[in-house]
Chain A
Amino acid sequence: MATQEAHPVTEHAPHKRRLKAPGKRNFSKPVRVLMLAALVLFSGFPLYWMLNTALSQDSELYGQAQGWWPHWERLADLGDVIGTVPIFKWLTNSMVIAGGTTLLSLIFAVLAGYALSRFKFYGKGAAGFLLFATQMLPEALLVVPIYALFASLGLLNGMGGLILANVAFTMPVSVWIIKGAIDAIPYEIEEAAAVDGCPRVTILSLVLTPLILPSIAAAAVINFFDGWNEFLLAKTFIAERDLWPASVGLASFIGQYLTSLNSVMAAALLFTLPALIFFLLVQRRIVSGLTAGSVKG
């Protein structure tokens, strides 16, 4: 025991101890669990309250105080409320719009990101900067000219036009995410592929894309949620009720005189689920360290 006291056993190698930044320390496990629990509660509570509201009586919501526990027995009634609107049609539309936006935006972003990262051309800096033109102005300002443009092109009242407009707003960020990822890939890998016989497009699709998959996944999440949540353009461009995405459909619950809060919340819950599933599927791809072992640093 005496020797152990002289040389206390530590979890860390001594050099790690020395390298640790001053003031930086690890919290003990119970503290970490507590902090995580607080975070989960903080971000999860609104979701819970949505469920609770959806299952509450109107009288509860407008009259007495809302209870803490959901009335599960009202679950059957909710189906009837939601059945009065084509919610699944709207969700499908949202899927098409968000999915289309993600796919198109990623294809453009990979191509543009590659060009910005690897090629030297005149006006490269300006091109990269101009990509953000749509981000520099408020969306509401751009709605009017885009509306006029789409009207003359016959792109109004259709999901295709909406996807195009969404891509214009979501792509720039993706381009820069992808550009940064490609910058980090050693150029020798591309040269090795060229010697092995890859044309440029094939290098991009066969070699680079798998390597930047984490960044593509991150960009996909951003694009998908942008497309899924987008309201302003959809509300402006699409008049036909059957073509509405769920975001517009949800808003239609809010009437001038009467808003059935519990049905809004029930629909909102349904609206959240597909996005949640998409995120859970994609987030596993957002890992780093895929290029390890390719080249000596």
Chain B
Amino acid sequence: MAKLSLRNISKRFGDTQVIHDFSADVDNGEFLVLLGASGSGKSTLLRIIAGLTDPTKGDIIFDNLRVNRQSPRERDIAFVFQSYALYPHLTVRENITFPLALDKFKAWHHIPGISAIARRIFGSSKEVAERVDSVSSMLELDEYSKRKPGGLSGGQRQRVALARALIRNPSMFLLDEPLSNLDAKLRAELRGEIVRLHKLTGKTFVYVTHDQVEAMTMATQIVILHNGIVQQHATPQEIYARPANTYVARFIGSPPMNLMSATVADGQPALGRLRLPAPEGLRLGTGPVTLGLRPEHLTVSADVDGPGLPGTVRRIEDLGADTLIGIQPDRTLDLKLWELNQDDLIWIRQTGQTRLMTGDPCTVALNAGMASYFDSDTGANLASAAEVSDAGMLSSHG
């Protein structure tokens, strides 16, 4: 029902530029996640879409209609707040009914007490009661319907907030870090719930989070923001496999992508003395590049003389199904790790347990076919940069 287009959105608070020239198109039914660290401008962007904050510049377009001057209600959106923002004086059921009851609001309901009576009569009508019942049973809130928000747990409160958003059947759902006040187990549970609601309603969802797990598991599209600037707008798979720049490479993935300084001579990259095969479909010139490899694209063996990077095991983190192994590369390699690599180690993810012990010498083998190459100055992914210049496009759209 609603296609969302943002055109050159900028926002300043005094001297601080919070969002720089943001443009994006979101098709109907997409689940867009705005992902970024705190202060990246993601919440401000969501509030601008909702109409709770005005942009300094730019247009917000819903289905070819510019809605900049419309109130949140006129935009037909629902907003779920991080802090739930329930009406504390109303019961769960009254909270859910509230948006519907407002449709029938008359001026004389302003007289104290009248509106409460009017709402009660309205809420007991068959049609409304059925609608509220179906939404509250969908979110398993039936047994709490008479309680007030004060008597609910955090997870239950956020369910009520979701129910309040659902009841009006809006054309778009905006969610501002709805799960970050919940504990890990509840978070996983509600994550599934929200994905289910997205499938069920088929509406556009815009979801703000700083949690990459939420982004990767829920999104159909992710926008990564950093200091108000879009880093990448693509599908989760694309972002994971081909990060647009070193920031994205480090932001997504746990542990993040290993970044190493490599040199290229005649199109052939080398890590220290270790020569790597030239990447397919990408012509590297000559000079320094940054090479990125995900932890799962590296393997480690105790065979010291095998092909690969010699090093020493420094850390072993057993996660049960997986093991993370931190390797310190041999100093004689003259290998420069990217300054932000965790503890100056190369991290490897291996399924199952390892026989290696801390302090063991070892060899790291690289799956060079999976490597990403970044410009050593700008940090931009050389592959996507090449693609852009080939296709003559300006965005890194997935």
Contacts and interface: CB of A to CB of B under 8 A. Distances in A.
A188 B85 contact: yes
B347 interface: no
A191 B83 contact: no
B192 interface: no
Contacts of A201: 110
Contact of B87 (A189, A195, A205, A289): A189
Interface of B: 50, 52, 71-73, 77-79, 81-89, 98-99, 102-103, 105, 109-110, 112, 115, 148-152, 154, 157, 164, 168, 181
B99 A293 contact: no
B105 A195 contact: no
Interface in A280-297: 289-296
B87 A294 contact: yes
Max chain A C-beta neighbours (<10 A), residue from B84, B105, B164: B84
A293 B110 contact: no
Given A196-B98, A197-B99, A293 B151 contact: yes
Nearest to B119: A206
A209 interface: yes
Given A195-B78, A196-B164, A294-B88, 7 more contacts: A191-B79, A195-B72, A196-B98, A202-B102, A205-B112, A292-B150, A296-B82
B150 A188 contact: no
A191 B148 contact: no
A148 interface: no
Contacts of A189: 85-88
Given A293-B151, A293-B157, A197 B102 contact: yes
A209 B112 CA distance: 9
Interface in A33-67: none
B110 A292 contact: no
A44 B187 CA distance: 58
A127 interface: no
A294 B84 contact: yes
Interface string A179-212: 0000000101101111111100110011101110
Contacts of A188: 81, 83, 85
Nearest to A196: B99
**A192, A193, A210, A295: most-surrounded residue (chain B CB, <10 A):** A192
Contact of A293 (B77, B115, B148): B148
B50 A207 contact: no
Given A195-B72, A197-B73, A207 B87 contact: yes
Contact of A290 (B73, B81, B88, B112): B88
A177 to B, nearest CB: 18
Interface size class of A (residues with CB under 8 A): 20 to 34
B81 A293 contact: no
B85 A194 contact: no
Q: What 3 A-B pairs have minimum CB-CB distances, sorted nearest first?
A: A293-B150, A293-B149, A295-B83
Given A194-B73, A195-B50, A290 B89 contact: yes
A197 B79 CA distance: 12
Given A191-B85, A195-B79, A202-B105, A294 B154 contact: no
Nearest to A205: B110
B86 A293 contact: yes
B79 A210 contact: no
A201 B149 CA distance: 24
A129 B105 CA distance: 36
Interface in A241-297: 289-296
B82 to A, nearest CB: 8
A233 B168 CA distance: 54
Contacts of B84: 294-296
Contacts of B89: 210-211, 290
Contact of A296 (B72, B83, B102, B105): B83
A164 B22 CA distance: 54
A236 B14 CA distance: 54
Nearest to B77: A195
A191 B98 contact: no
A46 to B, nearest CB: 35
A194 B52 contact: yes
B241 to A, nearest CB: 36
Contacts of A198: 73, 102
A291 to B, nearest CB: 5
Contact of B71 (A194, A202, A209, A293): A194
B88 to A, nearest CB: 4
Contacts of A194: 52, 71-73
10 contacts: A186-B85, A188-B85, A198-B102, A205-B115, A292-B88, A292-B150, A294-B84, A295-B83, A295-B84, A296-B154
B83 A195 contact: no
Contacts of B72: 194-195, 197
Contacts of B112: 205, 209
B103 A197 contact: yes
A211 B87 CA distance: 9
Contact of B102 (A196, A290, A291): A196
B389 to A, nearest CB: 43
Contact of B86 (A206, A289, A294): A294
Contacts of B157: 293, 296
Given A191-B52, A196-B102, A294 B85 contact: yes
Interface in A55-108: none
A206 B116 CA distance: 8
A195 to B, nearest CB: 4
Contacts of A211: 88-89
A42 B18 CA distance: 62
A217 B65 CA distance: 47
Contacts of B78: 195
A171 B386 CA distance: 70
A290 to B, nearest CB: 6
Contacts of B50: 195
Contacts of B154: 296
A193 B99 CA distance: 8
Contacts of B168: 196
